Amino acid sequence: MKLFVMILIVIICLFITKYGRADFLVWQNEGFYNKDEDISGSLPSGPTKGSPFMLAMASVPESKDTGRNNIDLPKPKFKGSMSLEETIKKRRTERSFVSIALSQQQLSQILWAAQGITEERGFKRSIPSAGALYPLDIFVVVGKEGVDDVQAGVYQYQPAHHQIKCVVPGDLRKKLAEAALSQMWISRAPISIVITAEYGRTTGKYGKRGVRYIHMEVGHAGQNIFLQAESLNLGAGIVGAFADERVKDILKLPDEYVPLLIMPVGVSHS
């Protein structure tokens, strides 16, 4: 029995090391955070306590959905034609788009940059995440003829299978633009990425300080989208001014999901 337990412990240790969890287990356990620290005074709407289920979610593999609402995206490419330095230099908030559809390859790159899994066998993603809890979800509002061979609608990105899943059909770009204080330029982009957070996934572990962590994470995702778009010779905009409840309603988001950022993407006029 003792031997069996020892072998089991060795196997668990090997598993943790192989799948890269050891590093974050170290900093989580060394008290580098203060669970009860209040950094904001006013928390965003939505729950801040995470259930054990929520905490587990980030590392539970999504089951591959083969339903007709799901689209397998082309594999992302890891080599581009623009250097990182040039991409950073060129990045600007784009607000003027021509009505040219994106290819599925371009959509694939943008979503992968925002939240794609970047390990062959592991679960870690393109952006860092406090405790590797991954509180962000990425939605894409696709306009009519916004992406080749993709119907207009709202899609949720599924990182584990690099798929998109249709959650609301129809061209909702005008409604989204109206919800963003009528910044109608948003409706002229072929797609808009909407980044949402489920706060409980992170605050369940880190308390109110988790709110700060999530806001850092959305910045990472936003910059990745900006840089990926630029390096594909596309343009991206960024929108923080919108009515949360209206965006939630348009995307039919679950109650716990809070929209944090809208990023229209397309071929730019300039």
Ligand X SMILES: Cc1cc2nc3c(=O)[nH]c(=O)nc-3n(C[C@H](O)[C@H](O)[C@H](O)COP(=O)(O)O)c2cc1C
Residues that bind ligand X (CB under 6 A): 92-93, 95, 183, 238-241
User: Closest distance between ligand X and the C-beta of residue 141, in Å?
Assistant: 15
The residues near 74 (Cβ < 8 Å, ≥ 6 apart) are: 104, 105, 108
Min dist. Cβ of residue 16 to ligand X (A)? 36
Rounded least distance, CB 195 to ligand X, Å? 11
Residue 262 sits at φ, ψ, to 5 deg, of -115, 130
For ligand X, the closer CB: 150 or 236: 236
Instruction: Indicate the residue among 128 and 240 with the shorter CB distance to ligand X.
Output: 240
Q: Which residue is nearest to ligand X (CB)?
A: 240
Cβ nearer to ligand X, comparing 198 with 230:
230
> Please, what is the minimum distance in Å from the beta carbon of residue 25 to ligand X?
32
Cβ distance to ligand X smaller for residue 163 or 192: 192
Tokens of 195: 């980044």
CB of 40 to ligand X, least distance (A): 16
Hunting for tokens 């006013």 — which residue is that?
A: 42
CB of 183 to ligand X, least distance (A): 6
CA–CA distance, 148 with 162 (Å, rounded to integer): 17
CB-nearer residue toward ligand X: 95 or 173: 95
Residue 150 or 186: which CB sits closer to ligand X?
186
Nearer to ligand X, 130 or 186 (CB): 186
The dihedral of CA 206, 210, 214, 219: what is its sign?
negative
Dist CA 62 CA 233 (whole Å) = 32
Please report how close the Cβ of residue 15 comes to ligand X at its closest, in angstroms: 39
